[in-house]
Amino acid sequence: MEKLHNKSDTTKGILFLICSAFFFALMAVFVKLSGDISFVQKAFFRNAVAFLIAAGGTFGDIRAKGKSVIIIPKGALLFLILRAIAGSVGIFGNFYAIDRIVLADATILNKMAPFFTLIFSFIIIGEKIKPIPLICVIVAFLGSILIVKPSFNFTQMLPTGAAFMGGVGAGLAYASVRKLSYLKCNGKIIILFFSAFSMTLSVPYMIVNFNPMSFFQILMLVFAGICAAGGQFSVTAAYYHAPPNKISIYDYTQILFSMIFGFFLFGQIPDFLSLTGYFVIIAMAVLNFIYTKKHCESENVSVSVGD
């Protein structure tokens, strides 16, 4: 019965992660369609919508279940702050890149997050990294260099560097979510805290450099916020149901969604080096997934025999 429950949780985690990938790919489209606005301002409105949706869900839970849903468990505050800081780095880096490089490039660099999730899960939670996954992380990092294309042209390299750092931030954020799940912290509280924190970071810049927006731009950012909320709730639910080493490979479906959107909506075609980088990173993700799945199955067999 326990194994059946674990398989069910893993399946739910996979489905939630694919939903998250679709929502985040669509969010990037709306962010790009919103036009010539500061990436900080875009991030603010994206988080504002997500905050309102999370707040509505939280207050709905309070009415139904009482005040206990807003209690922050002991030890959770540190990881709520860490998740908020890391998630903000992830959003700012990703939004800065979306407006300046090919949509699929920004996505694949952001999708370095599952690899960094493994590393940070080891640091924060103590989830072990086997030799094969570690090799996959190293090779994937080398593959990302093909997309970043390091050069002495800082202006040209900055957007891809920002996208990469966004992936690092997202990886730390997801590992923090996993830790918060162990601490039994309510998922809506995690999203609410993160959205409020990221909005607060944006306020000083907004006061000094606010760009007036047209109705169309506001509408696009509202849609981006709705998609972001859908992505946040989905990814939070995914890592609540299953650990990163069982489901993170499915996060790469966002690359497929982004390439389709990028080609049909913006006429974007990644160059050869970027495509090679995609192949390397995805290949390592697949290898890591296959290895982890076989390793987990062999461990389950050993446990069953021992029992």
Over residues 129-187, the pLDDT tens digits come to 788 888 888 898 888 888 887 766 777 789 989 999 999 998 999 899 889 988 988 87
Domain spans in the chain, listed from the N-terminal domain onward: 25-306
User: What is the pLDDT, as a whole number, of residue 86?
Assistant: 95
The model's pLDDT over 16-72, given as tens digits with 9 standing for 90+, comes to 988 998 999 999 999 999 998 999 999 998 889 878 887 887 777 667 766 655 688
Q: What is the pLDDT of residue 202?
A: 92
In angstroms, the CA 157 to CA 44 distance is 25
Q: 246 vs 1, 43, 119, CA distance in Å?
A: 19, 30, 15
Length of the chain (residues): 307
d(CA 184, CA 74): 10
Q: How confident is the model at residue 6 (pLDDT cuts 50, 70, 90)?
A: low
Would you state the pLDDT for residue 88? Answer: 94
Locus of tokens 């093909």: 146
pLDDT at 220: 95
- pTM of the complete model: 0.80
Please report which confidence band the pLDDT of residue 199 belongs to, taking 50, 70 and 90 as the band edges.
very high
**Rounded mean pLDDT of the chain?**
84
Q: What is the pLDDT of residue 304?
A: 34
> Is the pLDDT assigned to residue 303 strictly greater than 50?
no
Which tokens belong to 291? 């290895």
Residue 197's pLDDT is what?
Answer: 94
The tokens describing 241, both together, are 């149901």
Query: Burial, 258: exposed, middle or buried (Cβ in 10 Å; 0-12, 13-18, 19+)?
Result: buried
Q: What is the pLDDT of residue 245?
A: 65
pLDDT at 3: 40
Instruction: Please report which confidence band the pLDDT of residue 212 belongs to, taking 50, 70 and 90 as the band edges.
Output: very high
Tokens of 71: 């209690």
Question: For residue 198, what pLDDT band results from cuts at 50, 70 and 90?
Answer: very high
| Paired tokens of 156 | 């040209």
Residue (of 40, 79, 253, 249) closest to 177 by Cα position: 79
What six digits make up the tokens of 217?
A: 């731009």
Would you state the pLDDT for residue 2?
39
Q: Is the pLDDT of residue 4 over 60?
A: no
Q: Residue 279 pLDDT > 80, yes or no?
A: yes
- Looking at residue 299, its pLDDT comes to 55
Alpha carbon distances (Å) from 5 to 45, 97, 122, 171, 240 = 39, 40, 25, 27, 14
> Is 218 a residue whose pLDDT tops 90?
yes
